[in-house]
Amino acid sequence: MRRFEGKVALVTAAAQGIGQAVVRRIAAEGGAVVVTDLQQDAVAALADELGTEHALGVKVDVTSRADIDAAIAAAVGRFGRLDLVVNNAGGCIVTSMPEDTSAEDWHRQLDFTLLSAARCIQASIPHLVATRGNVVTISSVNGISAFGNVEYAAAKAGQIAMSQNYAARYGPLGVRFNVVAPGTVRTSNWDSQPGTLEKLKSMYPLGRVGEPEDIAAAVAFLGSDDAAWITGHTLPVEGGVLTGPNPTGLRPPDALHLRSGDERSV
């Protein structure tokens, strides 16, 4: 597929993990990509790998509106337009018990995860109106249901509410806003917790945690014209965890023995 031929996307936190997978997917589908992250060497290396005629690496601190403005100006200056913004930056940076979280830590979490997305949207709106473009924000299942990490969950839920309101406001101008809500995804964030992903996969009815490419596929759909009549929605990409933690207790080998019409209760 070449769904992004002639289009330009800007992706935040794109040096690794989900962001990098999104960049690679958009580039593979013919799009030009502005790769942004705090890791300047990493974004430059990724842009070089993809080809500097189709990719641009820019160092960006998403807590800085000036950095975001500069990245968008660089995108439009290099490629002449902006069609898609993928708000991928954000993460769980507060580890205290919620009753002990200071106001300062609340502000840090919201600034990094929620306000960073708001800054990118505000800065990109004039360009997206011009191209009838769209925004895809990476939230989390934590923003939909209670999986812990209260401050992070609140920021992620805020992303969803913000996107819905922007969708209503800018829909008449042809600009779409959607959200992808991943479950647990295999990224380097888990490297310091060996064995955790193996344990977590038992929560998922599909029997595994997600891969960055699973999220990138959803972003590519929502960011493309295939989703031209979809706005203001949140797409969970979460292996079924929102249906409940594998309530059947079946392991994959057990499931293989079930036949159509089997009377065994599952």
Name the average pLDDT for the chain. 91
Torsion angle in degrees (nearest 10) through CA of 69, 177, 46, 91: 90
3-state secondary structure of 156: helix
Read off the pLDDT of each residue in 109-126 and give the average, rounded to a whole number.
98
**Is the pTM here over 0.75, yes or no?**
yes
Q: Name the least confident of 134-148, 214-228, 247-261.
A: 247-261
The per-residue pLDDT for 188 is 86
At 202-251, the pLDDT tens digits run 999 999 999 999 999 999 999 999 999 999 999 999 999 999 755 445 55
The per-residue pLDDT for 11 is 98
The fold of the 8-256 domain, in CATH, is: Rossmann fold (3.40.50)
Helices 40-50 and 17-28 sit at what angle, rounded to 10 degrees?
20
Q: How far apart are CA 171 and CA 139, in angstroms?
A: 21
Greatest CA separation for the chain: 64
Place 52 in a pLDDT band, splitting at 50, 70 and 90: confident
Q: How far apart are CA 129 and CA 205, in angstroms?
A: 40
Residue of 114, 62, 117, 115 lying closest to 85 (CA atoms): 117
Q: Where are the domains of the chain?
A: 8-256
Structural contact between residues 232 and 168, judged by C-beta atoms closer than 8 angstroms: yes
Structural contact between residues 64 and 40, judged by C-beta atoms closer than 8 angstroms: no
Q: How far apart are CA 197 and CA 204, in angstroms?
A: 11
Read off the pLDDT of each residue in 7-31 and give the average, rounded to a whole number.
98
Q: How far apart are CA 186 and CA 121, in angstroms?
A: 27
The per-residue pLDDT for 245 is 59
Q: How far apart are CA 48 and CA 56, in angstroms?
A: 8
Residue 261 has pLDDT above 90, yes or no: no
Q: Which residues are catalytic?
A: 152
Q: How far apart are CA 171 and CA 167, in angstroms?
A: 5
Name the percent of the chain lying above pLDDT 70. Answer: 92
Residue of 65, 45, 69 lying closest to 55 (CA atoms): 45
At 183-205, the pLDDT tens digits run 999 988 888 889 999 999 999 99
Instruction: Tell me, rounded to whole angstroms, the distance of Cα 159 from its chain centroid.
Output: 11
Strands 84-87 and 176-182: unpaired
Residue 266 has pLDDT above 50, yes or no: no
Residue ranges of E strands in the chain: 8-11, 32-37, 55-59, 84-87, 134-138, 176-182, 234-237
Q: How far apart are CA 152 and CA 160, in angstroms?
A: 13
Q: How far apart are CA 250 and CA 254, in angstroms?
A: 6
